[in-house]
Structure 1
Amino acid sequence: MDNNLNHSFEFTRVFDAPRELVFKAWTETIHFSKWWGPKEFTLKVVIMNARSGGRFLGFLTSTDGNRVMWRKFTYQEVIEPEKVSFIQSFSDEQGNTVEAPFSGSWPLEIMNVITLEEDEGKTVLKLKGFPVDASAEEQESYNSMAPMLQKDLEGTFDKIADYLVSLK
């Protein structure tokens, strides 16, 4: 795993919400379904068992209804309220791993490690993502898409920030 850390994507965001609430937003269907995914997509959760060894299966639908993307997670480690790590993949409706719809050279599996730190009533979220067992071509594809990843994450994290504010 350490060799992948040299090619990781890192993102930090501070949320004006307590750590316990941010953790629930990542681990409870009622919250997660309201914000996860790029801005122009909505999420429908089919399965969500956010615990170490659990899994997630759901699909994103574009606001125009023309694009549907299934995603799955295999949760590696869930420690309340400080950490959620999972391997994320594109999938079909049955949860079988499939190639990304936008690139045949995108890694099949991406590890995401999310840590949450309390900071005077706010939460500092740090996300680190990196391909799992990627070929050189897949790693290069991942690295070259960093600007798109950054944009998608900013949009997704804007959605969770707005959602957390709505809970106040």
Structure 2
Amino acid sequence: MAALESLLPPVERDLVITRLFDAPPELVFRLWTDPVHALRWWGPRDYPLTRIEMDVRPGGLWRGCLTSVEDGEELWQGGKLLEIEPPRRLVFTFAWDADGERGIETVVSLDFLPEEGKTRMHFRQTPFQSMAEHDGHKGGWSSTFDRLDDFLAEVQRGSS
């Protein structure tokens, strides 16, 4: 049995997403680190962020609640800010307030790179214990980044 298990592919432990946002890194970074702005875009479309507290400094804690638009179910998450290098890098821990695998802490690293007046964001979250958690986070973050893209457009229209 052990020989058969060694032939199985390893669990994908890192989630990597790269997105290009039509906004400068300073603005994208600010929207990630300002809780007032985070309330407008963080969370998937069907589970938007409804509450957040953020102590934006290395070692500071953050905690947020995603709330289902369908039934009001609350999903709490939080962690610690590890690196803050405006406007180029943000690193924090992430864990759900849940038992079992969902409650295992991961590390989220974001790099914001300028690219012809835009921002190329490199997102990495690791380590995942299963493909189910990896894929669930991939869908959630992808929807979240769609909302961030929409909010960036809204912010820039308002500032023109």
Q: Paired residue for 1:11?
A: 17
* Inter-partner Cα distance in structure 2 for 1:108 and 1:58: 16
> Relative to structure 1, is the Cα distance of residues 90 and 146 closer, same or farther in structure 2, using a 3 angstrom cutoff?
closer
Gaps of 5+ in 2: 1-11
Identify which range, 6-15 or 24-33, moves more after superposition: 6-15
Contact kept? 2:42, 2:148, Cα under 8 Å: yes
Q: Paired residue for 1:83?
A: 89
* Inter-partner Cα distance in structure 1 for 2:138 and 2:19: 12
Of 97, 110, 120 in structure 1, the residue corresponding to residue 106 of structure 2 is 110
Q: What's the RMSD between the two structures over aligned residues?
A: 1.7
Q: Paired residue for 1:94?
A: none
Q: Paired residue for 2:140?
A: 152
TM-score normalised according to structure 1 size = 0.79
- State the 1:26 CA deviation: 0.4
Contact kept? 2:113, 2:119, Cα under 8 Å: yes
1:91-145 deviations in whole A, cap 9, x for unaligned? 2xxxxxx32xxxx3345101000000000110000011102xxxxxx62x2x344
Q: Secondary structure at the match of 2:150?
A: helix
Rg larger in 1 or in 2? 2
Gaps of 5+ in 1: 1-5, 92-97, 132-137
What letter is aligned with 2:144?
Answer: T
Q: Secondary structure at the match of 2:27?
A: helix
What letter is aligned with 1:167?
Answer: V
Q: Paired residue for 1:50?
A: 56
What letter is aligned with 2:112?
Answer: L
Runs ≥4 residues deviating over 4 A: none
Q: Paired residue for 1:3?
A: none
More helix by share: 2
